[in-house]
Chains A and B, each alone.
Chain A
Amino acid sequence: DSGVTQTPKHLITATGQRVTLRCSPRSGDLSVYWYQQSLDQGLQFLIQYYNGEERAKGNILERFSAQQFPDLHSELNLSSLELGDSALYFCASSVARRGPWTDTQYFGPGTRLTVL
Chain B
Amino acid sequence: AQTVTQSQPEMSVQEAETVTLSCTYDTSESDYYLFWYKQPPSRQMILVIRQEAYKQQNATENRFSVNFQKAAKSFSLKISDSQLGDAAMYFCAYGSNTDKLIFGTGTRLQVFP
Contacts and interface: CB of A to CB of B under 8 A. Distances in A.
B50 A98 contact: no
A35 B91 CA distance: 14
Contacts of B47: 104, 106
A16 interface: no
Interface stretch (A20-28, A37-45, A70-78): A37-45
Interface string B44-75: 11110010100000000000000000000000
A2 to B, nearest CB: 8
B100 A58 contact: yes
A94 interface: yes
Contact of A56 (B33, B100, B105, B106): B100
A42 B97 contact: no
A48 B45 contact: no
Interface string B90-113: 010001011111111110000000
A102 B34 CA distance: 10
Interface string A58-86: 10000000000000000000000000000
Interface of A: 2, 31, 33, 35, 41-45, 48, 50, 56, 58, 88, 90, 92, 94, 96-98, 102-107, 109-110, 112
